[in-house]
Amino acid sequence: NAGVTQTPKFQVLKTGQSMTLQCAQDMNHEYMSWYRQDPGMGLRLIHYSVGAGITDQGEVPNGYNVSRSTTEDFPLRLLSAAPSQTSVYFCASSSAGTGGGYTFGSGTRLTVV
Amino acid sequence: AQSVTQLGSHVSVSEGALVLLRCNYSSSVPPYLFWYVQYPNQGLQLLLKYTTGATLVKGINGFEAEFKKSETSFHLTKPSAHMSDAAEYFCAVSALPAYSGAGSYQLTFGKGTKLSVIP
């Protein structure tokens, strides 16, 4: 059971480039979320999904796009990377019955130069 | 709106001493409360959670936390610290989607407390 898998683990982008962070879960969870973690800031919610075809914005959605065409996958797209998007990104998933007990991936460390 | 305050961004304890990490929350609806642990260069792992029922919650690795509604607190404790407990700990709050207006349980995190264990 792989849980939540994120790829890549590390990425360096130039300002203005676009890229997609991949996230896949094999637990048949309904809920999936993307967070960013910055030093001293905790984790902040970017976007979330309650099921295939349904997504919504979180606390810090600007500059990011998501879609959810299947239950398993929830990619995060950076449209035009900026240095302010340098961060560690975590994908998480949860079953509707766990009251918010999310399972997290191991993260993608992104640097924008 | 919900918020979480973790007192102390860095806590140091001696091996074998009591671990106490403080968390206070703000929520206008009945909260669900969580503690997560993050080891270096890893994702977050759920330590324990309170949803309803017993206010003293036991988690993995000997940790426990007590929900005190009157104090709006959910402090994390462990009687005896081990070297392997050195990590960053995050307190988080969510609420039933019907209360929060969101489509699902959404976690609001505190800023984290880094625990160091001194041999």
**Cis amide bond preceding A8, omega within 30:** yes
What is the per-residue pLDDT for A1? 64
A99: nearest CB among B9, B43, B51: B51
Residue B104 has pLDDT above 70, yes or no: no
Query: What average pLDDT does this structure show over B21-39?
Result: 92
- Strands A76-78 and A87-94, by their bridges, are unpaired
Mutate which: A4, A29, A37, vs B, most B CBs within 10 A: A37
Per-residue pLDDT tens over the stretch A43-75: 999 999 988 999 999 889 999 999 999 999 999
Contact flag B105-A105 (C-beta cutoff 8 Å) = no
| Residue A58 structure tokens | 């979180």
Per-residue pLDDT tens digits for A7-17: 999 999 999 99
The per-residue DSSP string of B27-88 comes to -SS-EEEEEEEE-TTS-EEEEEEE-SS-SEEE-GGG-EEEEETTTTEEEEEESS--GGG-EE
